[in-house]
Chains A and B, each alone.
Chain A
Amino acid sequence: MEIKFLLNKKPVSLEAEPSMPLIDLLRSLGMKSVKCGCENTVCGLCTVLLDEVPVLSCSVPAARADGHSVMTLEGLKAEAEEFVGFIADQGADQCGFCNPGYVMNTIALLRENPDPTDEEIREYLAGNLCRCSGYEGQVRGIRNYLNAKKEGRL
């Protein structure tokens, strides 16, 4: 079936199998930041923004993207750059495998709630599993990033 949608703000039109999940379609288009980490719909690594809303692309049938807008990390480099660099300097990441999903969902969080409490950060990122860090580094990294922005250090 034919699917037409906006991928990172650029129109895309292609044929896809009826049951193809969005993650497979995106990876076939070279969006390699989108990864399947768990096969159980729980890890958050395949997060993309569908009409600005963070969703798990592993569970969205690609056909549902028809007529909609999909943003992946490849299309959000400018918005992610400052944050990702800051977090790396904080040593919040370890192996980095979960990083693309974590960055995508942090972007969604900060768009929805630019000044979250630590509790709100934890709640919003609960669906991004990380097997290295125990999450403390990431929460601390986001907190320090937000503080640095508030204090004009960025």
Chain B
Amino acid sequence: MKFRNFIQPRTIAEAYELAQKPDTVILGGMMWMRMQKRTVENAVDLSLLGLDKIEETGEGIRIGAYVSLRQLETSPLLLEYTEGAIKTALCPIVGVQFRNGATLGGSIWGRFGFSDVETVFTALGADVVLAGKGQVPMVEFIKNGAPKDLLTHIILPKKAPDAFAVNAHRNSATDFPVITTAVCRRGDNVRVTVSPAPARGYTEDFSATDMPEIAGNIMKNLKFLASASASLEYKEHLARVLIGRGVKAVGGQ
């Protein structure tokens, strides 16, 4: 990707205003975006907005959109919150140098069906904070997107999960996952998120009393698309097995 202007706003309001302009892109880590074959007028860089912090607030854990994936996986706060699952989930993504560049915001904004990051945060019950629309549940954002808006933060609920498990399958180490699943239990609620690339991520909430049936029930609603990485049948098989393992890990049988 080429751009004619590289703009570094100093406030979120300024960045949001820039996002409304035509032919403008918001830059995350530029990991995949750089490979696009197009030229845009304006590239807006968020690196000077202080969005690179992970903070505990009265509301929960507030994470800036410019926080790198490496910051997420090494944050003592998030490691404790997820009992280490955040590291297990993010470490297989390419390599340390890649994860030092890739940002939380860039990973969420694209609503990629292959994103381990999206799967983790959706299952954890996160909200996204948009400069224009305000705070919305991540499930809603993944479904509808937010054209022309600006993602500034992700907020995790104050209450940590009682149990949380991430299971993914890659055809080879450091590759994109064929499928990523996450299961989060808080009290009686069990949330399952599945990213069956190239289809968008899917999330469903269940009661903990229904745990034995979760893997079977969610399969009825999941949509898969065959791709170069795996056949439809293989993806369905992987989903059933990985969700089953996740449910077992959070206390199901």
Contacts and interface: CB of A to CB of B under 8 A. Distances in A.
Contact of B98 (A18, A41, A125): A41
Interface in B66-96: 91-92, 94-96
Interface in A27-76: 39-42, 44, 47, 53-56, 58-61, 63-64
Contacts of A108: 96
A105 B96 contact: yes
A41 B31 contact: yes
Nearest to A47: B97
Contact of B35 (A39, A44, A55): A39
B174 interface: yes
Contacts, number: 79
Contact of B96 (A21, A61, A124): A124
Contact of B97 (A61, A105, A123): A105
A137 interface: no
A127 interface: yes
Interface string B15-55: 00000000000010111101100000001010100000000
Nearest to A112: B96
A39 B95 CA distance: 15
A59 B100 contact: no
B43 A19 contact: yes
B143 interface: no
B97 A127 contact: yes
A60 B96 contact: no
B3 interface: yes
A40 B35 contact: yes
A126 interface: yes
B101 to A, nearest CB: 5
24 contacts: A1-B6, A18-B43, A19-B4, A39-B35, A41-B31, A42-B94, A42-B95, A47-B97, A53-B100, A54-B97, A54-B100, A56-B97, A60-B30, A60-B101, A61-B6, A63-B6, A105-B95, A105-B96, A108-B96, A123-B91, A126-B92, A126-B96, A127-B94, A127-B174
